Chain A
Amino acid sequence: MQLVLLVLSLPFKQVMAEQTAHPESKASNSFVNQLLPQVIVNHSVSEHAISLKKLRAIFAMKLRFWGEGQAITVFVLANDDPIHGAFCKKILNIFPNQLESVWYRQIYTGTGQAPIEVASESELIERVKSTPGAIGYIKNKNDNLKWFSDEITILNID
């Protein structure tokens, strides 16, 4: 089995090296965390922190309500958008294709919906800002300082 794994992995060692470790392992490095995608929610959401497992359940479209009963509306960028890719891999720890397969299984069994896909990061921010119960993400904190505090809430991941 080890030989097989080696054969499968050999041509792609360089790609593997580029993949980033899970954010929890970098919790102590606040500067790096500033550059990671950040989870944003509409001001109507009372929570200021969220567990990774709950976040995954929300973006997998399995958890549909916040704790106080408010409906969750999920906004995402296109599957091949670099920000979406970074959010999936570095925050949720899943490849975009795998996450999309989870959506497909729910959509076509009538047990769930796809998230709302928007065209750009700025549109995503606008939609989260104007939609009660909405959740989305931004590229990182440094590039989006103008949006903080008074218009959207950044959720910390426990």
Chain B
Amino acid sequence: MKLLFLTLIKQSVVCGMASVLLCAKTVYAKDADFLKSTHWSAFVSQTAIYSSDYNFLSQSDDKVSLDMWEAGVLFTATMAHDVAFSAQLLGRKVSEFSDEDIRLDYAFLSFPFYSDYQNTLGVRLGRIRSSYGFYNETRDIPHTRTGVIMPQSVYFDKTRNSFFSSDGIELYGFHDFGEFSEQRLGFQLFISKPLEDKEEAQEAASLKARNLDGDKSFLAKVSYGSEIEGFRVAFTYYRPEYDVAVTYPISQAPLLELEENNASFYSENMVTSIEYNSLNWGLTAEYIRHKFFTKIPVLGDSGFKSENAFYEEAYYLQGLRRISQQWESYLRYDSTRLRGTNAYWTKFKDINIGVSFRPDEHWLLRAEFHYINGRSRLFTRDNDYYAGEPGYWHAGMVQVAYRW
């Protein structure tokens, strides 16, 4: 009860700022003004999670947990020459060990330096949410998601803060086939320094990782199609690199550990996305090939293995049924697998089904059920694993969201 109370206070602080500072949701200025328009919105959500085993995005092992909440204020201002400033202040709690609940998730200037009837070329500068896959840019707004949580195969929450936003510069462009078609061909090239959430270093538990520090990252994306009707496709290449300090065993008996402060790793991701939309249906598939490469300097002639790579293959298939303006139902198969092994702790296969209800443009209610095999997308920092734990388990979630 105390936790719920604190949660509500935090949510009120975040959203209250918007309500006080901005009295109208969208404001348009006169043509002569430097500031052309401003737009803001805010949201809060509270989620109840029950899981039969393990703590899943909350302390939910065999009990109902209200740990998970989200609150955000999103702001964008358009100035002369279509220069735009966009920012999101995000409060979010999904792990007992997340100590940084409120963060500036992104804040950037966007400048389209060339624009004509059908073509635009521009740059973005600042803290930018990576345009990874179809949905990373809007993943935190409950009303633009399909489910209570994002598919963990591609949009994993486990290392979200260190992986999906970074400080840098992006070149973007698109061509609209507007007169006879609603298709858009677009590209993005993004060079940046990844952000890091030091708490997330705990996910590399076997290496006792610490001092996580973003080094550099590169993203390239091409996309084609329409979000409204018919097909759209995209391909994203994303490679963030990090410096880290590790401690790892070099002998078990007696136990000898080596401390290395100049280790590093990179994560190489190739995401292929395809989606089909009609009025009543949305079918989405995204596949990611995920390579982790850890580099620990060689210690003299000791022969210790200094480099380690492993591959993960993950995808989800999702069917969304738009029943009416208020009701949606969805079915998703979400699969993550470490190449070369079939042990349950190296995979995460989740069949989930859910329903959404929007009584008006502000409120959103969702309920979904997950039947899961494996645990590789669970937070290591939230779970004490033990011998004999179950491979198959299930979870139920109910979410209430409100937006301004």
Contact = CB atoms under 8 A, between A and B. Distances in A.
A116 B26 contact: yes
Contacts of A15: 323-324, 327
A60 B143 contact: no
B86 A110 contact: yes
Given A15-B324, A57-B176, A95-B322, A8 B361 contact: no
Contacts of B120: 111
B181 A111 contact: no
Contact of A56 (B88, B106, B182): B182
B361 A111 contact: no
Given A4-B331, A65-B117, A99 B228 contact: yes
Interface size band for B: 35 or more
Where chain B touches its partner, the secondary structure class is strand
* Best-surrounded residue of B110, B144, B174, B322 (most CB of chain A within 10 A): B144
A44 interface: no
B26 A53 contact: no
Interface in B24-83: 25-26, 28, 37, 39, 74, 76, 78
Interface string B288-329: 000000000000000000000000000000010111110101
Given A12-B324, A78-B361, A79-B361, A60 B178 contact: no
Contacts of A80: 325, 360-361
A96 B279 CA distance: 10
Contact of B117 (A4, A16, A69): A69
A93 interface: yes
A85 interface: yes
B321 A9 contact: yes
A22 B272 CA distance: 32
A35 interface: no
Interface string A55-87: 011001011010101000000001110000100
Interface string B167-181: 000001010101111
Q: Which 7 A-B pairs have the closest CB atoms?
A: A110-B110, A79-B361, A63-B178, A110-B84, A12-B323, A80-B361, A101-B144
10 contacts: A53-B181, A60-B228, A62-B178, A62-B184, A69-B117, A100-B144, A110-B122, A111-B122, A111-B174, A113-B78
Interface of A: 4-5, 8-9, 12, 15-16, 19, 22, 51, 53-54, 56-57, 60, 62-63, 65, 67, 69, 78-80, 85, 89, 92-102, 104-105, 107-111, 113-114, 116-117
Interface of B: 25-26, 28, 37, 39, 74, 76, 78, 84-86, 88, 106, 108-110, 112, 117, 120, 122, 124, 129, 131, 137-138, 141, 143-144, 172, 174, 176, 178-182, 184, 226-229, 277-280, 282, 319, 321-325, 327, 329, 331, 358, 360-361
